[in-house]
Structure 1
Amino acid sequence: MILLIALLAVGAILALGTPTVLRRIDFGGAPVVGIVAWMGAVSATIAVGALALTALAWPGDPPGNSSVGAVAQSLAEIEPTVVTWTADLILPAAMAGSILPVGLVARVAVIHARKWSAHRQRHTELLALLGRVDPAGTGLVWLDHPVPLAYSVSGHGGYIVVTDGLARCLTETQWRAVLAHEHAHLRAHHHHILGVCQVLAGAFPRIPLFAAAPSALTTLVELAADRAAAIRTDPHSLGSALRTVAGHGARMSIAAVEPAPDSLAVRLACLGAAPESRSAARRRAAGALVGTVLLVPITAALAVGLGSVAASLALI
């Protein structure tokens, strides 16, 4: 029971508190660190929930319960009474807690996968009719359209769609920077990262961490692709290409979720930052992330301690 309370405390902190903390950290200079932080928080929340259900359904004393009990000895004294009161409810609650979330995620994932597959098939069919494959074998599909546009399509045999309008309004260096940006999305599997977050947000829209992840990661994957493209080409060329595309009312984003309103301004600011500023931003982001990671178990321990004191006082 004590281990279960500790896991629930950690899970609540991760699900409710980390979105606020992560939003306050400037990951502009280290977008990959930001992606790892958000996906790590999501993964940790899922893992803690699974461990809590395992501890609930475990026959007898679960492993680690005695060591956790040393931290909250007063709660351990009332644990037999609590277990006696709830013994008949533990197994059904554990089974329901395991089956319902898994079933809900599976349902949303199947719907998401079917929609994505159907959309990709229709998109491929339209491109076969309207587009033309680059004869140089560069993985480009051209569209005869005046609006400057470029985007990547993930999956087996991923490719990049570009318009003639984009080629006409960009210089050679800007063109290479835009292609490097889209190739970075495909190499880093950014589409799949966003897809996982969208499935979790659809399955658990009332959990703040899952609800906030798609929007936050949409900006971060764009920043990560910008950084990769800037390293391969140069930041100025990519920044000027983004301004050109935005000036025609188009946007370069791989996500179905709309990025934040200031996403373009943030991207341009990061591309225009001096190398020293970017290095300082990376150090600040890494330090803030380490502090957040350490804060979670400390806060959970305090929550368990306060809970044990409250429970002891209630029995007096």
Structure 2
Amino acid sequence: MAIALTLLVLAGLTAVGAPRLLNRGSWPLREPVLALWVWQCVVAAVLLCCVLAMALSGSAAWGEVRGQLFAPAPSHVVEAYALPADGQRWAASLALVLACGGLWTAVMLTREVREARALRRRRRVALLARAPRLPGEETEPGDRLVVLESPRSDAWLLPGPSPRLVITTSALRRLTSRQLDAVIAHEQGHVRARHHWLLYCAGALARGFPGVPVFAAFQEQVHRLTELAADDAASRRFGRVTTALALVGLNEDRGPVSCPDDPAAAPHGAEVPQRVSRLLTPAARLAPARRLRWTAAAAVLPVVPLLVAFAPGLSALGGVR
């Protein structure tokens, strides 16, 4: 059972130390896509530690679980884990606690997705009420772009099976054609990268386990980094100045708050000045070798719990040979 406890200690150290390490430098602002990859690997490592600890503690507590988990393994591999023959109460308690945590995570993720879908349906109904279809449009398979009559400049995305980009008439009048293309490219960047699923997972973990630092930091950083990544996707096609002017044009009437018609975007509108400054005064990207090192180091993180969990069995197999 020492392996299960080692995995839990590893999960705790990662959950506390990783956010401090990642927030220490400024490189995530320069490489938002890479930073998203690193954050996902960190969270995956923490969750994998808990899953493996649950499996090993369950094997120590119940012979039925042990038989299923170690069914294809030779007897000397099972002996290497020093699992008790009669089980232990504390192992059973630990396995049940971790199993409840996994179930709670699934419940929170389901709740997050259902709430997001319900909100999306309400917004689609409200959008249809404000911009009703003309006769004959009911047979159309779906609207990719919806123009909404409004005195305020706005543009936002309704994700889903058929994503819709909503642009107000004021935005059409204020922005140039190239700036509108940059706005569309920004939203298309969200769709292609499926950022809404990252937001669902981050929200479920943060709401389900509010006391875990890594999950709270993951939610905050996902909201921030997905916007920066979409800004970069737009700027690569239409230029940083054009993308920055599009952001200013959509927000200059109301200061730092963006997209009032889009409730999901409102809490993050205060980051618009920072995003504009980042586009106009871009910092140098990381060197390719350094990006490769960060990518490889992040990919190794979920492998570490696997190595810890399989170390006794691999050692036993190596000893027999």
- Which TM-score applies when normalising by structure 2? 0.76
CA distance in 2, matches of 1:139, 1:29: 31
> Per the alignment, in what secondary structure is the counterpart of residue 258 of structure 1?
helix
Indicate if the aligned counterparts of 1:132 and 1:143 stay in contact, CA closer than 8 A: no
RMSD between aligned residues: 3.7
CA distance in 1, matches of 2:252, 2:303: 47
Matched, 1:258 2:264: no
State the match for 1:27 in structure 2. Answer: 28
Indicate if the aligned counterparts of 1:177 and 1:238 stay in contact, CA closer than 8 A: yes
Gaps of 5+ in 2: 60-65, 308-321
CA distance in 1, matches of 2:165, 2:279: 22
Indicate if the aligned counterparts of 1:30 and 1:282 stay in contact, CA closer than 8 A: no
State the match for 2:128 in structure 1. Answer: 128
Indicate if the aligned counterparts of 1:27 and 1:285 stay in contact, CA closer than 8 A: no
Letter of the aligned partner of 2:125 in structure 1?
Answer: E
Indicate if the aligned counterparts of 1:143 and 1:164 stay in contact, CA closer than 8 A: yes
Matched, 1:222 2:227: yes
State the match for 1:193 in structure 2. Answer: 198
Instruction: Summarize the alignment of residues 44-123 of structure 1 with structure 2, pairs less than 5 Å apart.
Output: 44-58=45-59, 59=66, 87-98=88-99, 100-123=100-123
- Decide which of 169, 175, 178 is 1:173's aligned counterpart: 178
Letter of the aligned partner of 2:213 in structure 1?
Answer: P
**Distance apart, 1:36 and its partner CA:** 0.6
**Distance apart, 1:87 and its partner CA:** 2.1
Q: How many residues align?
A: 287
Indicate if the aligned counterparts of 1:31 and 1:220 stay in contact, CA closer than 8 A: yes
State the match for 1:305 in structure 2. Answer: none
- Which TM-score applies when normalising by structure 1? 0.77
CA distance 1:167–1:282, shift in 2 (3 Å): farther
> Per the alignment, in what secondary structure is the counterpart of residue 218 of structure 1?
helix
CA distance in 2, matches of 1:239, 1:221: 16
> Per the alignment, in what secondary structure is the counterpart of residue 279 of structure 1?
coil
CA distance in 1, matches of 2:8, 2:232: 38
Indicate if the aligned counterparts of 1:18 and 1:209 stay in contact, CA closer than 8 A: yes
State the match for 2:319 in structure 1. Answer: none
Gaps of 5+ in 1: 71-75, 302-316
Indicate if the aligned counterparts of 1:10 and 1:296 stay in contact, CA closer than 8 A: no
CA distance in 1, matches of 2:234, 2:21: 29
**Distance apart, 1:6 and its partner CA:** 2.4
State the match for 2:63 in structure 1. Answer: none
Indicate if the aligned counterparts of 1:28 and 1:266 stay in contact, CA closer than 8 A: no
Indicate if the aligned counterparts of 1:154 and 1:186 stay in contact, CA closer than 8 A: yes
Indicate if the aligned counterparts of 1:191 and 1:255 stay in contact, CA closer than 8 A: no
> Per the alignment, in what secondary structure is the counterpart of residue 259 of structure 1?
helix
**Distance apart, 1:203 and its partner CA:** 0.6
CA distance in 2, matches of 1:235, 1:9: 44
CA distance in 2, matches of 1:141, 1:264: 24
CA distance 1:38–1:122, shift in 2 (3 Å): same
CA distance in 2, matches of 1:139, 1:200: 31
| Structure 1 outlier segments of 4+, above 4 Å | 60-63, 83-86, 132-138, 252-257, 281-298
CA distance in 2, matches of 1:245, 1:260: 11
Letter of the aligned partner of 2:110 in structure 1?
Answer: V
CA distance 1:95–1:114, shift in 2 (3 Å): same
Indicate if the aligned counterparts of 2:258 and 2:266 stay in contact, CA closer than 8 A: no
Task: Please identify, of 251-260 and 177-186, the stretch whose mean Cα deviation from structure 2 is larger.
Answer: 251-260
- Decide which of 241, 247, 265 is 2:246's aligned counterpart: 241
State the match for 1:268 in structure 2. Answer: 276
- Identity value in percent: 26
CA distance in 2, matches of 1:294, 1:158: 35
